[in-house]
Amino acid sequence: MTARTTRLLAVAVLAAGLIVPVHAQDHRHLVVIGGIGGEPHYDELFHRWATTLVRVAVESLGIEPANVHYLPGSRQVAPGDGKSRSATGEVASVTSIGALLDRAARASSPGDMVLVVLIGHGTARAGRILFNVEGPDLSAGTLAEMLASFDGRRLAVVNAASSSGPFVDALSVPGRVVITATAGGNENLAPVFGGHFVTAFTEAADSDKDGRLSLREVFDHANRRVAESFEGGQRIRTEHALLDDNGDGAGSRSPGADAADGAVAARWFLSSPRYAFDSEAGRGLLARDQRLVDRIAQLKRRKGQMPSPDYLAELERLLVALALNRRALRAAADP
């Protein structure tokens, strides 16, 4: 993570040319929607998860507060400190959710990153898959219609409710990341996934050490914590989170190189990039950086088909190149 504000006007001159790191307009948006808890314990729990996520988004990820929206699920938690809550004091209902999503869609532009997170209870009843809110529940189909207004945005939707698995099928669109706390409608006990999803943003979840948290890293981290929470208590695991990002309507429990899903989520970031330049030279360094990373990824996929010494030699060559390029990037960003 870089302190971009202090580097806003930094100028670096390299042999390659003029490089200007930039502080772009914030293209990241977070919409958190709480569900009705049904009892004080869950009202408080959902509210705590939601407000933690909102706080992390603003304070740690540096998302513009104006781009962060929270619609509490219960009137028991809606009044109060206000700062991180619905400006209107409303609670989540089908109507208010629709209105909020519409506002968020209009506030965003094509290409923006938009993360929509639902935290609450869900039900799967008579073929209808629902997120429980005040008044009529929000169905997966209705939510899918509401999200249509985000066309062109890089949208990710997380439903951390019980029985949320079928939302994958309803919301799946190529290029969109959909995460659910459970694998099916029959996993109907209150899941712990949501809490771990939120805390992943504050824990050391950056497994590829690129200085940014991708949604896949957050998902993987939360998933591990869920597994630990059940194994630690020696209980039967009652929830299995899914991630879908290839638009096929079927989520993966373990997204990644060996799974159908995970490629889009691995490049879906809420945190800003480590380096950003608007000069051609800077962009050139970044492009080379990405090329090298891509080549390393390709090489790793060929690992099993290559003699080990050849693989290691090629890996080292690419890594050395990447390391040198990184030096150049750092020098350019902080001359």
Partner 1 sequence: MRTPRLARVLVLSLLPACHATASTGADVPNDPLVRAAALLAAGQREQALESYRTAAEPGAERRLEAMVGAARILRLAGQGPVARATLEEALALYRDGIGVDRVGETVAAGRAAALLGASDPSRFIEALDLFEAAIRLDPQHAAAKLALADLLLSRYNNREALPLYREVLKTDAENPQALFGLARSQYFDHSRAALDTVRRALELAPDLAPARVFLARLLLDSGDFDGVGRELDKVLETDPVHPGALTIRAAAALLQFDQAAFEASVEAVTSTSPGYSEMYADLAEIAAENRLYQDAIDIARRGARQHPDDSRARALLGVNLFRLGRVREGRRHLEAAFRGDPYDVWVKNTLDLINGMREFVVVRQGRFELVARERDAAVLGTKLFPLAERAFEFFQQRYGYTPPTPVRIEFYDRRDDFSVRTVGLVGLDLLGVSFGPVVSLVSPAELSGQVNWGSVLWHELAHTFHLSMTRSRVPRWFTEGLAVVEEHLANPGWGNDVDEKFLAAWKQGKLPPASRLDEAFTRPSYRGQVVHAYFLSSLLINYIEQHHGIGAIRAMLSGYGEGKNTETLFAEVLGTGASDLDDAFATYVGGRYAHVIDELGLADGGGSAYRASLEAGRKALDQGDPDTAHALLADARHRVPELAGPESPYHLLARLHAGRGETDLAIRELESIVAIDADQLAPLSELARLYREAGRPAAAAGALERALFINPFDATIRERLAEIQENNGDFEAAVDQRRAVIDLGPEDSAGAYYRLALSLDGAGDAEAARGEVLRALEAAPMYDDALELLLRIRAALGYEDSLDSGALDPPDHS
Shortest separation between residue 77's beta carbon and partner 1, angstroms:
33
Q: 118 and 191 in contact (C-beta within 8 Å)? A: no
Q: Does 175 bind partner 1 (CB under 8 A)?
A: no
Residue 38 neighbours by CB distance under 10 Å: 14
The residues in 231-290 that bind partner 1, with binding defined as CB under 8 A, are: 288
Rule CB under 8 A: choose which of 117, 325, 332, 333 binds partner 1: 325
In the complex, minimum distance from the CB of residue 253 to partner 1, in angstroms, rounded to a whole number: 18
Is 1 a binding residue for partner 1 by CB under 8 A? The answer is no
**Closest approach of partner 1 to the CB of residue 302, in Å:** 13
Residue found by looking up tokens 């504050």 in the block: 202
The only residue of 140, 292, 332, 333 in contact with partner 1, by rule CB under 8 A: 292
The stretch among 2-10, 67-75, 242-250, 295-303 that binds partner 1 (CB under 8 A) is: 295-303
| CA–CA distance, 174 with 184 (Å, rounded to integer) | 21
Binding residue (CB under 8 A) for partner 1 from 293, 302, 307, 333: 293
Told to check if 301 binds partner 1 by CB under 8 A, we report no
Q: Decide: residue 134, CB within 10 A, 0-12 exposed, 13-18 middle, 19+ buried.
A: middle
Phi first, then psi, for residue 121 (nearest 5°) are -100, 155
For 26, the 3-state DSSP assignment is coil
Q: β-pairing, 154-159 with 177-180?
A: parallel
Among 207, 280, 302, 335, which residue interacts with partner 1 (rule: CB under 8 A)? 207
| # residues near partner 1 by CB under 8 A | 32
User: Using CB under 8 A as the criterion, what x/- string covers residues 210-229 for binding partner 1?
Assistant: xx------------x-----
Distances (CA, A) of 328 to 66, 272, 286, 316, 322: 35, 20, 10, 18, 10
Is position 321 an interface residue for partner 1 (rule: CB under 8 A)? yes
Separation of alpha carbons 197 and 195, rounded Å: 5
Contact residue for partner 1 among 312, 332, 334, 335 (CB under 8 A): 312
The length of the chain in residues reads: 335
As given in the structure block, the two tokens for residue 19 are 């490089």
Phi first, then psi, for residue 20 (nearest 5°) are: -125, 110
Residues that bind partner 1 (CB under 8 A): 204, 207-211, 224, 288, 291-293, 296-297, 300, 309, 312-313, 315-328, 330
